[in-house]
Amino acid sequence: MASTLHDVARLAGVSIKTVSNVINDYPHIRPATKARVEQAIADLGYTPNLTARSLRSGRTGAIALAVPELALSYFAELAAAVIEAADEAGVVVLVEQTGGDRDRELELLRSPRLQMTDGLIFSALGMGQDDAEHLERPYPLVLLGERIFDAPVDHVTMRNVEAARAATEYLLASGRRRIAVVGAHPGEVIGSAGLRLRGYREALEAAGVPYDDSIISETTTWHRSNGARGMRDLLDRGVTFDAVFGLNDTLALGAMRVLQEAGIRVPEDVAVMGFDGLDEAQYSIPSLTTVDPGQRWIARTAVATLLERIRRTDAAGEPRLLLADFHIAERESAPSEAMIGA
């Protein structure tokens, strides 16, 4: 297990470079020599030392993935897809959690730990547009998320505005007119919340339905408990609505639970729409209608883009913005045709 090229070379009676050549499929080796070396490798159970290889080559064969929290289903599914795609390319993934905290995100970006990897897929949540400059590092980086745009890095993300608009149009088409929102971030312009709320407003405007502040509920983070809290908040206000758009699935599921507790029927009294296309949204009661923003495509594309950047160190090539296609997964919580309350 602790055997090296030297040990193999000694056993096979050749120089270490010849052993190295055998391992790396260098063409000009006599079959007899090659066989002898391979026998020695097998006898000793030799495996190349990857650390030494990394030092020589400057490549580690690993990439880093930074997400806010793995315990959030969205990021767990993202990480699963990234690891799978990386694995197909023979690359391993080092996962970091930032907690969605701006300071920890910035710290991570300049952490020496990143040296252990050839590049980073970075899902920012705490940083904002003003932090774009911090992304400008001499290190292959692919940005995910919607906190920062126009930074000079490759960016793979979803069509938030269009997807949210489509989701809202879907609810409008099914006859809903008072569509509450759970998970808004006050004053946010970009960021998932800001963009999705914009799509929502665009759809309302196009349909001639007035925008009403009183049915918009704000939350800080997008944990499940906040979806529940946001819905309780709306109910406490005493406002009326016939649909809820959860700005992500987790919020929508939390909100749906509170609706049910309050004796409000989903979808008869209130339709519920989510956003993310999570696996678990299929199995809630009722199952959740949601927008699938193309997460698997995002993961695969992020990995491919990063690996390409790593390969071609030769200067840049323009930073690219890559956008996933979305579609609405129609399920029970918001059927496409209006239902008449029983």
Applying CB under 7 A, the residues found at the interface with DNA are: 2, 4-6, 13-18, 20-21, 23-24, 27-30, 32-34, 46, 48-49, 52-53, 55-57
Q: Is 32 in the site for a second copy (CB under 8 A)?
A: no
Binding flags for a second copy, 51-90, as an x/- string (CB under 8 A): xx-xx----xxx------xxx-x--xx-xx--xx--x---
Would the CA dihedral through 146, 68, 296, 288 be positive or negative?
A: negative
Minimum CB separation of residue 192 from a second copy in Å reads: 20
Q: Decide whether 127 or 259 has the Cβ nearer to a second copy.
A: 259
Q: Is 112 in the site for a second copy (CB under 8 A)?
A: yes
Counting residues that bind a second copy (by CB under 8 A) gives: 52
Minimum CB separation of residue 329 from a second copy in Å reads: 15
Q: Which amino acid is at 184?
A: A
Q: Is 261 in the site for a second copy (CB under 8 A)?
A: yes
Binding to a second copy, residues 132-171 (CB under 8 A): 138-139
For the CA atoms of the chain, what is the radius of gyration? Answer: 26
Structure tokens at 163: 């997807």
Q: Is 290 in the site for a second copy (CB under 8 A)?
A: no
Q: Decide whether 15 or 240 has the Cβ nearer to DNA.
A: 15
- Helical packing angle, 160-173 and 192-207, nearest 10°: 40
Would the CA dihedral through 332, 73, 229, 103 be positive or negative?
A: negative
Minimum CB separation of residue 3 from a second copy in Å reads: 12
- Helix, strand or coil for residue 62? strand
> What residue has token string 């509450």?
180
Name the binder of 304 from DNA, a second copy, none, CB < 5-8 A by kind.
none
Q: Is 113 in the site for a second copy (CB under 8 A)?
A: yes
The answer to whether the CB of 341 falls within 8 A of the CB of 265 is yes
Q: Decide whether 124 or 195 has the Cβ nearer to a second copy.
A: 124
- Helical packing angle, 224-237 and 249-261, nearest 10°: 50
Enter the DSSP assignment of 13. Answer: T
> What residue has token string 């745009």?
149
Buried b (16+ CB within 10 A) or exposed e, 297-315: bbbbbbbbbbbebbeeeee
Report the C-alpha gap between 25 and 87 in whole angstroms. Answer: 23
Minimum CB separation of residue 312 from DNA in Å reads: 17
Q: Decide whether 179 or 266 has the Cβ nearer to a second copy.
A: 266
Report the C-alpha gap between 117 and 111 in whole angstroms. Answer: 11
Minimum CB separation of residue 247 from DNA in Å reads: 45
Report the C-alpha gap between 334 and 105 in whole angstroms. Answer: 37
Name the binder of 221 from a second copy, DNA, none, CB < 5-8 A by kind.
none
Report the C-alpha gap between 185 and 197 in whole angstroms. Answer: 9
Omega of the bond prior to 267 within 30 degrees of 0, cis?
Answer: yes
Minimum CB separation of residue 167 from a second copy in Å reads: 21
Report the C-alpha gap between 336 and 318 in whole angstroms. Answer: 42
Minimum CB separation of residue 101 from a second copy in Å reads: 13
Q: Is 228 in the site for a second copy (CB under 8 A)?
A: yes
Q: Is 289 in the site for a second copy (CB under 8 A)?
A: no
Where does this chain bind a second copy (CB under 8 A)? 1, 47-52, 54-55, 60-62, 69-71, 73, 76-77, 79-80, 83-84, 87, 92-97, 112-113, 115-116, 138-139, 224-225, 227-228, 253-254, 256-257, 260-261, 279-280, 282-285, 287
